[in-house]
A and B are shown apart, each in its own frame.
Chain A
Amino acid sequence: MIPAPAFLTNPERFMAFSRWAAPMFGAIAVVLGVAGLWLGWSAPPDYQQSFTVRILFIHIPTAWMSEFVYACLAVASLLSLVWRQVLADAAAQAAAPLGAGFTLLTLATGSLWGRPEWGTWWVWDARLTSELILFLIYLGYMALRASMDDEAKAARAAAILGLVGALILPVIHYSVYWWNTLHQGASVFRSGGSALAPVFFWPVILIVLAYTSAFGSLWLVRIRGEVWRRRAEAAALRAARG
């Protein structure tokens, strides 16, 4: 097994690393985001979809992020379960609300994009439906963590659930696509990278990178907050016992 770098496993080193890494990722996110948006806005409007195509600059990157964050959560869960890394647990805990946020943004922008395209706010399209179920999985994960008083037990139970989710997500994707082809007619949504004009390719890539960087920054900040909270609780416990 390859040993993990100390700045990710040792809380002291992690705090020192994240102190400068979090603002750095944040700055990168702003630069990339501004560049991506500027490129996107200056591109000519799509001949079919007119200006609404620009919602996809937000929609596609958030959809990508919602899955990427779950992958991060699952890896952190595995590390916390198998190698009992305390930081990995804090990382999984910190990632969940961010992932749920990206998922909610994806659903909202998908719905906004769908209104002029399909004439309704919601269509039971395979991608959107998968996204909705992913949102439910994030909710279940956060609900499990929130409803257990014993933190150590909550951490392990949540890690197990995180892994179950990672196992089940591909199956859910497959089943939802199977369902979609079964009930032909409901499927009108054929977007994604392939349908996107090449002129929009670079803006989307830039914004994906900007989001990833923003997530990295927020994630580090949240993990730091979690480390501080745990330290404060430990100190309070010591003080209570004199």
Chain B
Amino acid sequence: MSRLGALLARETALAWGKGGGPLVSVGFYAGVATLLPLAIGPEPARLAAIAPGAAWVGLALASLLSLDRLFERDYEDGALDHLVLSPTPLELTCAVKCFAQWLATGAPLALAAPVAAIALGAPLNLAPLVFVCALIGGLAFAFTGGIGAALSLGARRGGLLTAVIVLPLFVPPVIFGGGALASYLAGLPWTSGLVLLGAYAAAFVALGPLFMAAACRNALS
């Protein structure tokens, strides 16, 4: 147990990077949220209609950003060898890494998401749902993103490759979360979207590490 605790502390500290990790993700997110009105025009009515969706897509893109560092640094400097040669199953190690990624970048992004949505013109009462969706969605993004990050180990232009591999995996969570937000705004039942998002996140928290571990072993061989 102390071993996993130490790993979680190390991974969170590395992903946090003295505050640099979340700063880059949130900064990128703020940039996307700023570019959008500049491209679309400042009319409040038009912006308000797309606000939840735009805030949600921006979140998915910002989650992509830090993924390439998830396994690559440990792979390149040899630390992954030592992480593998341990009584802790590699699957569990991968899960802890993704969880730390979520703590260090997913949670700060979840705090930024309601602000972005409201700045774009979403009503104030949408904020709690945006936050909850971003928190659960962040978990799904971290655990599906980890698969892409592990598969592109050892590839040329790994970061870009990770994005190409991962984007199709982001489709269901983007749909479910966006659907929950749109239904809430339209006054329709919105829980089914949230439940589906939660189910997707749970499935990948369970299955994602199996694929990540297989991909890491392959990269080290």
Residues of A at the B interface (CB closer than 8 Å) are: 133, 136-137, 139-140, 143-144, 147-150, 152-153, 156-157, 160-161, 163-165, 167-168, 171-172, 174-176, 178-179, 182-183
Contact = CB atoms under 8 A, between A and B. Distances in A.
Contacts of A157: 151-152, 155, 215, 218-219
Contacts of B219: 153, 157
Query: Taking each of A133, A148, A163, which has the highest tally of chain B beta carbons within 10 Å of its own beta carbon?
Result: A148
Given A133-B171, A178-B179, 13 more contacts: A137-B168, A147-B152, A147-B161, A157-B219, A161-B151, A168-B168, A168-B172, A171-B200, A176-B175, A178-B176, A179-B179, A182-B179, A182-B193
Contacts of A149: 156
A144 B175 contact: no
Contact of A133 (B152, B168, B214): B168
Query: Taking each of B196, B207, B218, which has the highest tally of chain A beta carbons within 10 Å of its own beta carbon?
Result: B218
Nearest to B147: A164
Interface string B139-162: 000000001000110111110010
A205 B98 CA distance: 47
B172 A172 contact: yes
State the majority secondary structure of interface residues on A. Answer: helix
8 contacts: A140-B168, A144-B155, A147-B157, A152-B221, A153-B219, A157-B151, A167-B207, A182-B183
B157 A140 contact: no
Interface string B160-174: 010011011101100
Given A157-B218, A182-B182, A164 B211 contact: yes
B176 A175 contact: yes
Count class of interface residues, chain B: 20 to 34
B16 to A, nearest CB: 28
A143 B154 contact: no
State the majority secondary structure of interface residues on B. Answer: helix
A99 B175 CA distance: 25
A140 B164 CA distance: 5
Contact of A161 (B157, B165, B179, B221): B165
Contacts of B218: 153, 156-157, 160
Contacts of A179: 175, 178-179
